[in-house]
Amino acid sequence: MSFRQIYSFAWSLTGFLWFLFTITTMPSSTSAQESDNIDVPPLPTGPRLRTIGTNIPRIVSRNGAASLTLAEPLAIGIATHTNFHQEPAYQTVAAREYDVITPENDMKMGPLVPNQRGSYDFTAADEHVRFAEAHGMQVHGHTLVWHQQLPDWLQPSLSPAELRSVLQEHIRTVVSHYGDRVAVWDVVNEAIADSPVLFFGSPMRSTIWSRAIPDYVDLAFFTAREANPSAILLLNDYSVEEVNSKSNRMYNLVAGMVRRGVPIDGVGFQGHLRANGLNYCSMANNMQRFADLGLDIYITELDVRLSLGRNGDISPFQSQRQADIYRNVMRVCLEQPACKSVQTWGMTDLHSWIPSFAPGFGSALPFDENLAAKPAYYAMQSAMLEQRTPDDVCAGQDDSMNFLESLFGGIASFFF
């Protein structure tokens, strides 16, 4: 075993043992406070993420090949929740730190056209776009076609022809409403099956769209391109960050789209992570194969959930582990010129989806409930600032090591 492998294994083992020790000595965290009654948020020290990201050296190394430094932007963003525009302190931090925002829910089909076909209400979604434009930020539109948060009037009883018409009408209406005010679109979200039925099942998730319109993904991208010739069009999904069976299915779908001339510009890796992080070498290789198709990669929904203590708090070890994960994801993206942005799914733990989705877990984002920057924020900042010698994240990695690291990390992640 190489030193790196021994070090890596020791790190995982130590982390797991340290967790066992720290579970009874957790510090009390500050109590949650509605961000709208925080007058002046505790602003982070050091340069703003959006400033560093504007023109950043991209240190690229591949399997020991000569390094290449490219100075090009890396967008840093957040998902913005409904009514965020009513929270002055939240807005202060968001505008200071980020250059792209994604409406977390307000641009989805259900919220946009809730009551009857053709009757759109853009009020809430427009607030996100207005805020972005007021602060020189980009808008990442989310999402034109998904199987969740659909309006009640959209029923599977509609005929395939009607569903095809609904899908195209929705994309045309929303993309045309915003035009170039929305620069990037998650055209189709979560189209890939998590685990196909046995080995010969369809690679595609079974949804109201896929069951009625076998070519709905191609149709959605052609329709979006027709509605906006210049927007960046992405296919977005989760658990596809590393080379694995699901990302293989995504790769095969996307490679076929490229072969067919479907107007796709990139893929979104959502990045909803746990405390065992990722195999960063596998993530780098995964990014590279999509880049080799001529596509860009966006980290679209990054968060790192932690197992909360009895009082809803986390240990210093957990906080540091989370920061390391944020740092490593940033570094993998920085070393891949085709990786264009890192966006977290929310900014502050106060508005994260995690506690309602995964009870007992939380503290997933770079800012705490009081809008104070956490070690995760500073890890993102330092990853962007560090002038490192090129560090090939795959150096010394082999499958046995990956297995052990993910084994210990996987077990540990059930607890922290």
| Contact set with ligand G3I (CB under 6 A) | 104-105, 148-149, 189, 270, 301, 353
Nearer to ligand G3I, 270 or 318 (CB): 270
- 301, 335, 369, 405: the active-site residue: 301
Output the smallest distance, CB 346 to ligand G3I, in A.
Answer: 7
Spatial separation of the C-alpha atoms in residues 232 and 237, rounded to whole Å = 16
304 residue type, one letter: V
Output the smallest distance, CB 23 to ligand G3I, in A.
Answer: 28
Output the smallest distance, CB 292 to ligand G3I, in A.
Answer: 26
Q: Active site includes 190?
A: yes
Output the smallest distance, CB 149 to ligand G3I, in A.
Answer: 5
- Specify whether the CB–CB gap between 316 and 374 falls below 8 A: no
Nearer to ligand G3I, 72 or 121 (CB): 121
Left if phi > 0, otherwise alpha if psi is -120 to 50, otherwise beta: which for 212? Answer: alpha
Of all residues in the shown chain, the one whose CB is closest to ligand G3I is 353
Nearer to ligand G3I, 8 or 35 (CB): 35
Contacts of 149 (CB under 8 A, 6+ apart): 105, 108, 109, 110, 111
Output the smallest distance, CB 286 to ligand G3I, in A.
Answer: 18
Q: 176, 182, 160: which is closest to 223 by C-alpha?
A: 176
Nearer to ligand G3I, 19 or 90 (CB): 90
Nearer to ligand G3I, 80 or 381 (CB): 80
- 97, 104, 127, 190: the active-site residue: 190
- Specify whether the CB–CB gap between 339 and 288 falls below 8 A: no
Q: How many CA atoms lie within 13 A of 341 on its CB side?
A: 28
* Residues belonging to the active site: 190, 301
